[in-house]
Amino acid sequence: MYGLKEAAILAYNKLILHLTPRGYYPIPGTSGLWRHKTRKTIFSLCVDDFGIKYFDKQDVAHFQDSLKDHFKFHLDWKGENYIGLHLQWNYSAGYVDVSMPNYVDKIMKRLCHPPPSSPQFSPHEHSPTTFGKKGTRQYATAPDLSPPLKSPTYIQQVVGSLLYYARAIDNTILPALNDISTQQSKPTQNTFKKCKRLLDYVSTYKNTFLRYHASNMVLSVDSDAAYLVAPGAKSRIAGFFYFKHGPDGKVLKHINSPIHIECKYLRHVVASAAEAEVGGLFHNCQTAIPFRHCLIQMNHPQPPTPIKTDNTTAQSFTYNNITIKKAKSWDMRYYWLRDKENQLHFKIYWKKGTDPDDPNYADYHSKHHAVIYHKGIRHKYIHDKLNLLVRTFDDNCNILANMFTRLRGCIDLHSY
């Protein structure tokens, strides 16, 4: 029955009914992760796609036999397609590329959006900081007084079409979508202009993909917050969830693409930048718990998850090094962080946000940056063919420079 809201739970209960006698069961505390009682098979179920991790083809045959009596299915041994994503595996080089080919073209055709006359390098407008004699000044966001749109349907179509693409592939558009989604119930002409700019940006970079390098599967999180950047004195928080270290335990040469990006407004109004940072830590740590649980269930032990923050007050509060007067909201919401720290679930540490060796990658999704900043930093979060060629060229230059240095040393030693 089309549109039946109970369809998902009915189908899920039917699947449990048929798979339980065969030894398969959903792992408690996870969303769609299953395993077998005696076999090593683990699979994830998302809508109607199974992603199977197997160690023996006999295990796959057993899973097929469990399904074929009640369901029709197609088996993709190469694992190239999953929930609309295209996976290009490169086992020899130790990475996989994830993309959604032609998805942007389909969106533009459905929304009747023409190609931009000139490239758009930023998904949103930048609100520059005003510098004057009295120092830096940041003004409150002015109310949107532009004429309202007659219907919010178009704005809702844009948000609905790009939200999955943003979460799955192009995470650089999440801050822009975050702003537009809060206005989609009562959109204005300015909201329409924001949507047009966002679509121009997506059209400019329509061949993007994520690259995941082989890692030790130990979760790392960067947390950040932007204080009072939204209407209603709201603050935006961001979290960058990724696998930072390679199989040997060393930091990867090239940053891994994120497995998840947290980008949202704090529901409550906070009284200081430090409180916004602690709020970001709170939300990101809560989001990290299901990830930790899934990784542990997939036989990847997790030490205390390192959570990076660039605010010393937030880090000191978590470690109980400071006590703030008149901070009932902190008492109510954030003492949970201290408990999880003591239980060795997390290890919250401070690092300067602009540290060249270990920057805070969550900063990108917490603010509206200038166009020149997007051009310089975008390649660290998302890949396209142009950025990949530039990075390959830089790597080759570094290799040649090292070879030249060694050769020069040998020549000097021989001359001596």
- Which pLDDT belongs to residue 411? 47
The pLDDT of residue 3 is 79
Query: Helices (DSSP H) in 323-366: which residue ranges?
Result: 328-342
Neighbours of 43 (CB within 10 A): 18
Q: Report the sign of the C-alpha dihedral through residues 403, 246, 89, 259, in that order.
A: negative
Confidence of residue 108 (pLDDT cuts 50, 70, 90): very high
Amino acid 323: pLDDT: 62
Question: Domain 219-383: which topology?
Answer: Nucleotidyltransferase; domain 5 (3.30.420)
Instruction: Please report where in the chains the tokens 């060393």 appear, as a residue.
Output: 250
What is the C-alpha to C-alpha distance for residues 348 and 333, in angstroms, rounded to an integer?
17
pLDDT tens digits, one per residue of 304-329 = 999 999 888 777 777 666 666 655 65
Q: Say if residues 35 and 42 touch (Cβ distance below 8 Å).
A: yes
Confidence at residue 415, expressed as pLDDT on a 0 to 100 scale:
42
Assign 3-state DSSP to the chain and report helix, strand, coil percentages, each to 5: 40, 20, 40
Contact yes or no for 387/377 (Cβ under 8 A)? no
What pLDDT does residue 394 have? 46
Question: Which pLDDT belongs to residue 340?
Answer: 84
Least confident of 53-57, 185-189, 275-279, 356-360: 356-360
Taking only the tens place, the pLDDT of each residue in 86-96 is 999 999 999 99
C-alpha–C-alpha distance, residues 160 and 225, integer Å: 25
Model pLDDT, residue 390: 45
Range scoring the smallest mean pLDDT among 50-59, 152-161, 389-398: 389-398
pLDDT at 211 over 90: yes
The domain spans of the chain are 7-75, 82-130+140-207, 219-383
Distance, in Å, from the CA atom of 252 to the CA atom of 245, rounded to the nearest integer, reads 5
Q: Alpha helix (H) ranges present in 205-304?
A: 273-297
What's the CA gap between 346 and 86, in Å, rounded? 33
**Global pTM value:** 0.85
More confident of the two residues 209 and 334:
209
